[in-house]
């Protein structure tokens, strides 16, 4: 799939809540394309070349807004106001307890059904000399889903002519509130099958281990001599058969890695067969590595066979899980005087030696 004319186009993508949903396609000078839906500010497509120059979509996707409304795997969605799990679906702020929606057993996952992933965002596009930019904005009201503050959220997708995709997050609130945004894209650089043979390098010395219900213990577990060590690089499938307790709890990788990348690269993932490689950078303190342990059965984009287990891998750069219940992490809180700002960047290229 290649379109030589750079720019931004849009088309109808279905309906949500009786309102039209649009799908925007950003194209750069090299023919790389990025598709974003206004429902959930969702990353629907990332079309990049393989070693033969063939373009294909390297994120798991579905065919329409209606399919995404029925999706429970958060495919490509912008999630928030607080990504990941919040223990017992509640937190305390300045002596006030805030109950949240329970959608993951007794816990709240990705802010529950009224989270940003189910909003229909307003979008506008701009083409510059550097590439294409799509700006999406949404509001999340006071006590919506239980979260305090009237929140204004902005996500910008910037596709550069150098085959970089940068996602910039910004949020403001009229009250003190927790904010932790991310994108929940499932990447598969082979554009099909599973990701078990993908080579991953992840620069981190520790994870935050989890309980049996996948809530972080707020400890730090060194990754050395464990299946969680991805330095040097190894295949994702290599350690999935491990008897390590943390691997058994989540039936694979579903853990937060502690980062100190300070805006630089923290991960490189490659598919030797297609030759595609992706380098990921962020200024956020953590990343949730999720190996699509439970994505099997989810409908795929063409309505063909459902996705198989381990069909993609998520590298969800974000604040630590259970963000509002980390009292010693003041950087997790947003206030009228302190807005939220963060980014994730993906750089795509082809391996020079295959």
Residues with a catalytic annotation lie at: 184, 316
Q: Is 277 annotated as a binding residue?
A: no
Instruction: Compute the distance between CA of residue 128 and CA of residue 90 in angstroms, rounded to an integer.
Output: 44
DSSP string, 115-145: SGGGSB-EEEEEE-SSEEEEEEEEEE-TTBT
Instruction: Compute the distance between CA of residue 274 and CA of residue 302 in angstroms, rounded to an integer.
Output: 21
Q: Is 52 annotated as a binding residue?
A: no
Q: How far is CA 278 from CA 127, 162, 227, 346, 347, in A?
A: 24, 13, 22, 6, 5
Q: Is 276 annotated as a binding residue?
A: no
Token digits of residue 255 = 């853990």
Token digits of residue 87 = 């223990």
Q: Is 84 annotated as a binding residue?
A: yes
* Cα angle 40, 46, 48; round to 5: 175
Side-chain-facing half-sphere of 169: CA atoms under 13 Å: 27
Contact indicator for 253, 290 with CB cutoff of 8 Å: yes
Q: Is 185 annotated as a binding residue?
A: yes
Q: Is 186 annotated as a binding residue?
A: yes
* Residues of each annotated binding site: 84-85, 184-186, 254
* Residues of each annotated binding site for beta-D-galactose: 84-85, 184-186, 254
């Amino acid at each position: 799939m290649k379109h030589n004319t750079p720019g931004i186009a849009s088309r109808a993508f279905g309906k949500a809540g009786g309102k039209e949903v649009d799908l925007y396609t950003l194209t750069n000078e090299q023919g790389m394309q990025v598709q974003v839906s206004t429902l959930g500010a969702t990353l629907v497509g990332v079309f990049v070349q393989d070693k033969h120059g063939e373009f294909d979509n390297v994120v798991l996707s579905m065919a329409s807004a209606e399919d995404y409304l029925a999706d429970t795997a958060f495919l490509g969605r912008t999630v928030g106001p607080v990504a990941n799990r919040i223990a017992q679906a509640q937190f305390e702020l300045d002596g006030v307890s805030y109950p949240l929606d329970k959608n993951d057993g007794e816990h709240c996952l990705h802010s529950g059904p009224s989270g940003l992933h189910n909003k229909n965002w307003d979008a506008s596009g701009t083409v510059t000399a550097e590439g294409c930019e799509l700006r999406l904005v949404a509001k999340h009201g006071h006590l919506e889903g239980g979260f305090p503050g009237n929140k204004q959220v902005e996500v910008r997708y910037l596709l550069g002519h150098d085959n970089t995709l940068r996602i910039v997050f910004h949020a403001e609130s009229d009250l003190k509130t927790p904010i932790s945004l991310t994108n929940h894209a499932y990447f598969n650089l082979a554009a099909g099958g599973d990701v078990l043979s993908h080579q991953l390098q992840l620069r981190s010395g520790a994870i935050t281990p989890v309980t049996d219900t996948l809530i972080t213990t707020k400890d730090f577990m060194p990754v050395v001599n464990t299946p969680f060590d991805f330095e040097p690089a190894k295949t994702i499938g290599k350690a999935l058969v491990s008897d390590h307790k943390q691997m058994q709890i989540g039936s694979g990788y579903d853990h937060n890695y502690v980062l100190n990348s300070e805006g630089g690269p923290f991960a490189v993932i490659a598919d030797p067969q297609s030759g595609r490689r992706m380098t990921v950078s962020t200024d956020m303190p953590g990343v949730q590595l999720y190996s699509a342990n439970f994505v099997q059965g989810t409908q795929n984009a063409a309505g063909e066979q459902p996705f198989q287990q381990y069909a993609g891998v998520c590298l969800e750069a974000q604040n630590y899980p259970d963000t509002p219940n980390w009292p010693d992490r003041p950087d997790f809180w947003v206030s009228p005087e302190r807005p939220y700002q963060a980014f994730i960047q993906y750089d795509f290229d082809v391996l020079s030696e295959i």
